[in-house]
Structure 1
Amino acid sequence: MMLGGVVGWPIGHSLSPLIHGSWLSAAGIKGVYQALPAMDEPAFDALIARGKAGMFRGLNVTAPWKMRALRAAGAGASDIARRAGSANLLTFQDGQVHADSTDGEGLLAALGEQAPGLKLAGAPVSVLGAGGAARAAVVALQGAGAQVGVVNRSAERAAQLVAAMGVTHQTTEQLRLADLVVSALPVDPGLDVSILKPGAVVMDMGYRPLHTPLLAAARDRGLTIVDGLAMLIGQAKPSFEAIYGVPPPAVDVRALCLRALGVAT
């Protein structure tokens, strides 16, 4: 039995077990993917110990444990995870831990799916936030050739990101120039979308609700929007292959997720 799961706190809201479980069933794999709550550091560390002992093939990691996941891997962290400063995927082999970050892949996949006309090479892009999710977004967007800036209320955290990743620290006023605005915040940024240019794309990493207040306001203004569910599915695909050893089968997991969210398809 191939065991995997997603670790976080809280974790009961996660759609990852639905996504991975659907792929496991369609692929005919004798495996399980479950939500694993870890409310404190000892609980998280105990799950890592179980992985090292061979009880898990791999684990996805969500808030608040992505930075601790990176540290758990030590030298077994990928370059992308190191640059992002966090990991959302841990795999285990022979007592060793490997850490990776597939969040950037998920972000780019979501943009390609829902904003196919957006050209990132050379484009001015603004990321709202300066935490782990923002860092993963910056790594992916820089890799795609975008000119990335960050907007964050905490000047200290923004300065750390600027120093570590070579981005610019922007003011809200500078969002007027952005071809793409990405919210990597866990709460609504309260952004006045009227300042954005007509052709801007707006993305929110959150997916509960599917159309967050930011996306709803951008949609009402006629802007192209990209939702966090597309990113969730995008990051899950390489995670599934890393954990179970095969690409995910062709299943419309988005439709399943929309039903779970109570959104009409």
Structure 2
Amino acid sequence: MTRPYAEVIGDPIVQSKSPVIHGFWLDRLGLDAEYRKTLVGADDLPRFFAERREDPDWRGCNITMPHKLAALDHVDDRGDVRGGIGAINTVFRADDGVPVGTNTDAGGFYAPLAGFDFAGRPVTVVGAGGAARAILFALARMDVGPVTLLNRNVLKAGVLLSSFGLKGQALPLGAPLAPDTALLVNASTLGMAGQPPLEMDLDVLGEDAVVYDIVYAPLETPLLAAARARGLDTVDGLEMLVGQAALAFELFFGVAPPRDGDDDLRALLLG
């Protein structure tokens, strides 16, 4: 007997915590469904989506690196995500059975910042990949001040800033932080397990600056450790991960996840 399922795809995929998150919510709600993780290489994307289109039990998937841009070529783009964010992190089966791409990263990124006011204040973002696209999309709607985008490829970063209508500048990795930076976001893989740390001098930041690292493996990145040592407000990668997962869960299973158990979920993820 089969049952509905969703999954997360990527390469690598072993590090993904999405099955723990979605499994926690499925158990809490008593839903007879499951959530899997599936290794999918770049060359396998066409076959993967062709097979899932024919599987009536498939409810959709989350997408992690490196497929957030390439997956757009294999699903319907009914919300013009390509023309907006330019990358997807979620695919859901629409009522007519067609896989549709969307992006829940932007909402997941914004949720922990709802209590802060960055209107008109300078922001620095590190990275220019799929996650950075969602973050810049959100920042453009938060009415922030100038955005400095740090990336190895400065030209790519400059084009990305312009595409979201953000004023600011593109600089190479390693450029010093502007002292008036109110929000620093690491949207790169730097600091992730197996990757070099993101080395930045946070001493120049003001006492009210916020440091946000979307990396969640490890949760305590060198960047966040340095920020906390300075007494700055921080947001870790689990905040965005759980936030974007909650939006995707409802698309997959048709019901909102029970967020009153977030403390228990966080303890489970950290354990």
Normalised to the residue count of structure 1, the TM-score between the two structures is 0.89
TM-aligned CA deviation for residue 123 of structure 1:
2.4
Which residue does 2:65 correspond to in 1? 63
TM-aligned CA deviation for residue 218 of structure 1:
0.5
Distance 1:259 1:238, change over 3 A: closer
Worse-matched range after superposition: 134-143 or 170-179: 170-179
C-alpha separation in 2, matches of 1:50 and 1:244: 20
C-alpha separation in 1, matches of 2:269 and 2:188: 23
Worse-matched range after superposition: 27-36 or 118-127: 118-127
TM-aligned CA deviation for residue 170 of structure 1:
4.3
**Which letter maps to 1:256?**
L
Which residue does 1:38 correspond to in 2? 40
Which residue does 1:236 correspond to in 2? 245
1:52 matched to 2:53? The reply is yes
C-alpha separation in 1, matches of 2:10 and 2:267: 22
C-alpha separation in 1, matches of 2:149 and 2:74: 28
C-alpha separation in 1, matches of 2:180 and 2:139: 16
1:143 matched to 2:144? The reply is no
**Which letter maps to 2:250?**
E
Distance 1:56 1:82, change over 3 A: farther
C-alpha separation in 1, matches of 2:12 and 2:264: 24
1:128 matched to 2:126? The reply is yes
Root-mean-square deviation (CA), in Å? 1.9
SS at match of 2:92: strand
TM-aligned CA deviation for residue 208 of structure 1:
1.2
Q: Deviations over 1:155-186 (max 9, x none)?
A: 12212213322332244345322110101010
Worse-matched range after superposition: 150-159 or 252-261: 252-261
C-alpha separation in 2, matches of 1:133 and 1:196: 24
Which residue does 2:193 correspond to in 1? none
Kept in 2: contact 1:9–1:37 (CA 8 A): yes
C-alpha separation in 2, matches of 1:86 and 1:150: 18
1:182 matched to 2:191? The reply is no
Which residue does 2:194 correspond to in 1? none
Identical residues among aligned pairs (%): 37
C-alpha separation in 1, matches of 2:153 and 2:21: 35
* Within-5 A mapping of 1:1-265: 1-42=3-44, 44-53=45-54, 54-74=56-76, 76-80=77-81, 82-93=83-94, 94-112=96-114, 116=115, 118-147=116-145, 148-167=147-166, 168-171=168-171, 172-173=175-176, 175-187=178-190, 188-262=197-271
Worse-matched range after superposition: 248-257 or 236-245: 248-257
Kept in 2: contact 1:175–1:181 (CA 8 A): no
Distance 1:97 1:260, change over 3 A: closer
C-alpha separation in 2, matches of 1:144 and 1:197: 20
Structure 2 gap segments, 5+ residues each: 191-196
SS at match of 1:121: coil
C-alpha separation in 2, matches of 1:202 and 1:81: 28
Distance 1:3 1:105, change over 3 A: same
Kept in 1: contact 2:91–2:101 (CA 8 A): yes
Structure 1 gap segments, 5+ residues each: none
**Which letter maps to 2:156?**
R
SS at match of 1:91: strand
Q: Tell which has more relative contact order, 1 or 2 (C-alpha 8 A, sep 6+).
A: 1
**Which letter maps to 2:154?**
A
Count how many residue pairs are aligned between Structure 1 and Structure 2: 256
